[in-house]
Amino acid sequence: MEDIQYALKEVRGFNFYSRLVNQIQEKPDVIEDIFRNITGSCAIPMVIYGLGRIQYSYAARFQLALALLLREVPGLEIRQEITICCDDLTLNHVEERALKAHGCKVIRMSGGRFRWIVDELTLFFLPFTRPEVLGDLLQMNWCSSQLEKMIILGSSLTSMASDLDEMISTCDNEEGRPSMTVNKLTYVTDRLRYIWAICKHTWVFDINDESSSTDESHDYSPEQIFENMFWHGFDFDGIDIIEKDMNNFLPSTDSCFKWVDDDTRLSNPQ
């Protein structure tokens, strides 16, 4: 797909990409802990989920271009083969061939679930991932030894949790109930608890500086799709954790949301 080559050229020229490269090379103290395991280590794998349709979405192509370019960043040491997880609804044969032509391995996952178990230091690139899907990933690796092997490049975890809380809490019908079904609400609520819990043990660094988020021009720029991009790393240093007690970090479902009533009150799953 020629559009991918165009996206690569455009992203390479973005100020965002220049800042990202400079931050990694300079390694200021604020992000040193996020990358402490990368420097001097073997090349690490990168896993992508929630990319979108690269054949029809320029945003998806630009995000793919950024992921491909990360392999070129000195000091980041990303493996050349990138793993892209997707389902049949977000991938066709044309797109699959294009991804493989750019050194990507495609893994199809069913049911919209991101069930990935971390067994080595891994960079997760999650540009458009839904909160409950990220919660799936955290739940599958809910122990400090595995979480500390994860580096996430994507939207702010804290903002993600707040946005979903607001969505579920918004009542839009006469009975004052959320539009989400009880079964869906139960699943999303449980997964969101992992995001709430891990935020307290997360290193976060914004790739954009304050000046970059303010544009005097009102014209739209494709670079704006990277405005909410953060590095995340998890750190449990100084905390006495017994792996089997990690669930103690999880908040109750009632404390996560403002909206709960007697008909759909959710128990705190253990």
Q: Judge contact between 121 and 226, C-beta under 8 A.
A: no
Judged by DSSP in three states, 118 sits in coil
In degrees and rounded to multiples of 5, residue 61 shows phi and psi of -65, -40
Query: What domains can you pick out in the chain, each with its CATH number?
Result: 2-156+202-235+243-252 (3.40.50)
Quick one: how far is CA 190 from the chain centroid? Answer: 18
What pLDDT is recorded for position 178? 46
Q: What percent of the chain has pLDDT over 90?
A: 29
Q: Can you read off the two tokens belonging to residue 114?
A: 């991101």
Model confidence pLDDT, tens digit, residues 132-189: 788 889 999 999 889 989 999 998 887 776 665 555 555 444 454 444 454 556 666 7
Ranking 41-50, 117-126, 257-266 by mean pLDDT, the lowest is 257-266
Question: Nearest 5 degrees, angle CA 270-CA 233-CA 105?
Answer: 90
Q: What is the pLDDT of residues 189-224, one digit of tens each?
A: 777 888 888 888 888 888 876 554 445 545 557 788
HSE, side-chain direction, 13 A CA sphere, residue 101: 10
Contact call for residues 267 and 179 (beta carbons, < 8 A): no
Per-residue CA distances from 26 to 31, 72, 142, 215 (Å)? 10, 16, 32, 26
| Predicted pLDDT of residue 77 | 81
230-255 tens-digit pLDDT: 888 888 876 766 555 788 788 765 55
The letter for the amino acid at 88 is D
